[in-house]
Structure formats: structure tokens, C-alpha cells
């Protein structure tokens, strides 16, 4: 949840905090209906972006802070990085708020988001519900969670080279591409993707029509392991099932060291909420 500022000194502290990460400050009023909409949006974003600081400042309670920050209407969001305000947004347009947070959380605050070399899109791996995701035929010693852990850990298959990964997201996403890193001799080769099919098993994965089929090559892995998807087929994805049929080395064990998803989040804001907060509330 967004943290409510309780004293003026705390505001100074959060500006200092922006030296190491993005800080978003919501200037609100208790009498402003759109402010309640923004509150819900920021609470949701706080769970999706644990490395971003979200704070709330009551303009009536802290008029001096609001005046110094030149707040003339509520809700107003200000974005801070390295002690300086880098952007500002008025109103309760969820789509605009999400886009701003996504853009500025990418590190340098530039308008062109970039993930694993894919310009215009972000790393959506933060939206994966790890506890609701699973992998069929995984090794007990090297399970699915290893692909999200970093370091030298890997996911490995167990009785043969095949895997079925069921990846759940905490909100609908538009997938542009996926990124796979793996040991060269055991890296996935032929994979089949199924959008919104968490029920897929091995028999279904081989017999059913896939949303897309991809053949990974050594050259693709050398260039970063990014495989572009047929974007129009992955516009509203709540879950993605990945069937790995074999690996590049024809080994009995398939291994994956990192898995990432690249694209954009689908705006799921209620239309009435957006309309209610379009203009903000002057004070």
C-alpha cells in the first residue's frame, strides 16, 4: 500500500529516498472523490512494483509542502528520482498513471521503455503469480521457482526432456516476446505456447492447436534468447502455458536458467472510474 506521510520531515526523507529508486507522491484531499480512485490504483501498483516508493500527502494537513510543490488541484501525482521531480500527472486516469509508473520505473525515466533489447515494452515478469504457477515433470531439486530466482540456479526436467510450464499473471497482459536463458547443451528447442490454457497437459500440448510454435536455435540464445510472438494473438493473456518438447543437445534433461515475459499490461480500469477522475478536483 501507499504510505501516508505523517510529518513534514518524512517528506524530506522520501525525497532523499529517490536517490536510489523512483518515488511517487500522491497529493490528495479527503473531500476529493477522484482521490479515492487514485488511492486504489496506487495500492495495486505498490504490489506490482515493490522497488518503487509510493506516498500520500494530504494537502489540507500539509499546506506548506503542497505550496512548495506547486499543487493547485487534487489528485496530483509527482514523480521523483535522484532528489528531483521528473514528471507530474493530474487526475485519476488509471491508464495514464500506470504508463507513467511503468515508464519511469525502468531506470532512467526515458519515454522509451526497453526490456532485454525490446524497445517500447517492459519486463512483465514482476506480474507473475509464482505460487499459482507450476511446472509438470520438474525435478524436485531444481523446480520452476529457480527461473525467477537469478544466480546459477536452474529449472530441470525429471523423467525425460519434456516440460509443461503453467505461468499465471496477476492481471491481463499483452505479450510481445519471451526470453529464455539456458545451458547451451540442454536449452529448450521446440516449444509450443498456449494462451489462457492452464489445463494443458502433455497429451493436450502435443495434440491441441497452439497459439504459437517456436523453434529456438543456438543463434537465438547467443543473441539473448528473445523470441518474438505473434503479438495479435497475445493481446489479453491471464496465463501462458509453455510446452517444451525437446532440447538442442538431445539430452535426457532440459534446463532453463531464466524465463522472462516482455510486453505491456492491459488496462483493466473501470470506465466509470476513469470518467469520474478525468479532470481532477481543484482547491
For residue 234, give the C-alpha cell: 497475445
Has residue 273 been placed in a domain? no
Considering the domain architecture, whether residues 144 and 87 belong to the same structural domain is answered as: no
Predicted confidence band of residue 46 (pLDDT cuts 50, 70, 90): confident
In the listed set 109, 137, 160, which residue is the last one of a domain according to the structure?
109
Considering the domain architecture, whether residues 31 and 137 belong to the same structural domain is answered as: no
Has residue 278 been placed in a domain? no
Considering the domain architecture, whether residues 137 and 95 belong to the same structural domain is answered as: no
**Residue keyed to cell 500440448:** 205
Exactly one of 5, 14, 32, 193 is catalytic; which is it? 32
The answer to whether residue 69 is catalytic is: no
Q: Given 3-state DSSP classes, what are the helix, strand and coil percentages for the chain, each rounded to the nearest 5?
A: 25, 35, 40
Predicted confidence band of residue 268 (pLDDT cuts 50, 70, 90): very low
Exactly one of 35, 200, 227, 262 is catalytic; which is it? 35
In this model, does residue 279 exceed pLDDT 60? no
Summarised one tens digit per residue, pLDDT across range 121-132 is 888 888 899 999
Considering the domain architecture, whether residues 138 and 208 belong to the same structural domain is answered as: yes
Considering the domain architecture, whether residues 136 and 250 belong to the same structural domain is answered as: yes
**Residue keyed to cell 488541484:** 73
Has residue 114 been placed in a domain? no
CATH code (residue 193)? 2.60.120.470
Predicted confidence band of residue 282 (pLDDT cuts 50, 70, 90): low
Instruction: Please say whether the beta carbons of 77 and 89 come within 8 A.
Output: yes
In this model, does residue 211 exceed pLDDT 90? yes
Considering the domain architecture, whether residues 103 and 192 belong to the same structural domain is answered as: no
Considering the domain architecture, whether residues 83 and 205 belong to the same structural domain is answered as: no
Has residue 86 been placed in a domain? yes
Among residues 282, 211, 220, 278, the alpha carbon closest in space to that of 243 is found at 211
Considering the domain architecture, whether residues 43 and 94 belong to the same structural domain is answered as: yes
Pairwise pLDDT comparison (151 vs 71), residue with the higher score: 71
Using the Cα atoms of residue 174, residue 176, residue 181 and residue 185 in order, give the sign of their dihedral: positive
Predicted confidence band of residue 107 (pLDDT cuts 50, 70, 90): low
In the listed set 109, 136, 157, which residue is the last one of a domain according to the structure?
109
pLDDT for position 19: 84
Among residues 155, 145, 134, 136, the alpha carbon closest in space to that of 253 is found at 155
Has residue 238 been placed in a domain? yes
In the listed set 109, 142, 173, which residue is the last one of a domain according to the structure?
109
Instruction: Please say whether the beta carbons of 177 and 263 come within 8 A.
Output: yes
**% the chain with pLDDT above 70:** 91
**C-alpha 76: how far from its chain's center?**
24
Considering the domain architecture, whether residues 127 and 255 belong to the same structural domain is answered as: yes
Considering the domain architecture, whether residues 19 and 139 belong to the same structural domain is answered as: no
CATH code (residue 13)? 3.40.30.10
In this model, does residue 269 exceed pLDDT 50? no
The answer to whether residue 35 is catalytic is: yes
Considering the domain architecture, whether residues 49 and 171 belong to the same structural domain is answered as: no
Query: Alpha carbon of 258 to those of 148, 179, 264: distances in Å?
Result: 6, 8, 19
Q: Per-residue pLDDT averaged across 169-182, rounded?
A: 94
Has residue 276 been placed in a domain? no
Q: Which domain holds residue 12?
A: 3-109
Summarised one tens digit per residue, pLDDT across range 233-258 is 999 999 999 999 999 999 999 999 99
Has residue 95 been placed in a domain? yes
Round to whole Å and give the CA distance between 225 and 230: 16
Has residue 270 been placed in a domain? no
Round to whole Å and give the CA distance between 58 and 67: 12
Question: Omega into 75 within 30° of 0, i.e. cis?
Answer: yes
Considering the domain architecture, whether residues 52 and 160 belong to the same structural domain is answered as: no
Q: How many domains does the structure of the chain reveal?
A: 2
Amino acid at each position: 500500500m501507499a504510505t501516508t506521510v505523517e510529518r513534514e520531515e518524512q517528506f524530506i526523507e522520501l525525497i532523499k529516498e529517490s536517490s536510489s529508486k523512483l518515488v511517487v507522491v500522491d497529493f490528495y484531499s479527503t473531500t476529493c472523490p477522484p482521490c479515492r480512485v487514485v488511492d486504489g490504483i496506487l495500492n495495486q501498483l505498490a504490489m506490482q512494483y515493490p522497488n518503487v516508493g509510493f506516498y500520500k500527502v494530504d494537502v489540507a494537513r500539509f499546506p506548506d509542502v503542497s505550496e512548495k510543490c506547486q499543487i493547485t488541484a487534487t489528485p496530483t501525482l509527482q514523480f521523483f528520482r535522484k532528489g528531483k521531480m521528473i514528471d507530474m500527472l493530474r487526475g485519476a486516469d488509471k491508464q495514464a498513471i500506470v504508463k507513467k509508473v511503468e515508464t519511469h520505473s525502468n531506470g532512467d525515466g526515458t519515454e522509451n521503455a526497453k526490456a532485454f533489447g525490446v524497445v517500447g515494452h517492459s519486463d512483465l515478469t514482476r506480474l507473475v503469480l509464482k505460487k499459482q504457477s507450476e511446472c509438470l515433470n520438474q525435478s524436485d531439486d531444481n523446480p520452476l521457482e529457480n527461473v525467477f530466482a537469478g544466480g546459477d540456479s536452474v529449472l530441470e526436467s525429471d523423467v525425460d526432456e519434456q516440460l509443461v510450464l503453467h505461468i499465471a499473471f496477476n492481471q491481463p497482459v499483452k505479450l510481445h516476446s519471451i526470453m529464455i536463458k539456458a545451458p547451451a547443451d540442454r536449452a529448450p528447442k521446440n516449444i509450443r505456447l498456449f494462451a489462457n490454457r492452464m489445463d494443458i497437459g502433455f497429451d493436450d500440448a502435443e495434440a491441441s492447436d497452439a497459439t504459437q510454435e517456436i523453434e529456438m536455435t543456438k543463434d537465438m540464445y547467443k543473441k539473448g534468447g528473445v523470441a518474438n510472438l505473434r503479438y495479435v494473438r497475445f493481446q489479453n493473456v491471464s496465463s501462458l502455458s509453455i510446452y517444451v518438447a525437446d532440447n538442442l543437445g538431445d539430452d535426457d534433461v532440459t534446463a532453463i536458467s531464466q524465463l522472462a515475459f516482455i510486453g505491456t499490461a492491459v488496462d483493466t480500469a473501470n470506465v466509470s472510474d476513469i470518467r469520474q477522475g478525468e479532470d481532477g478536483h481543484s482547491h
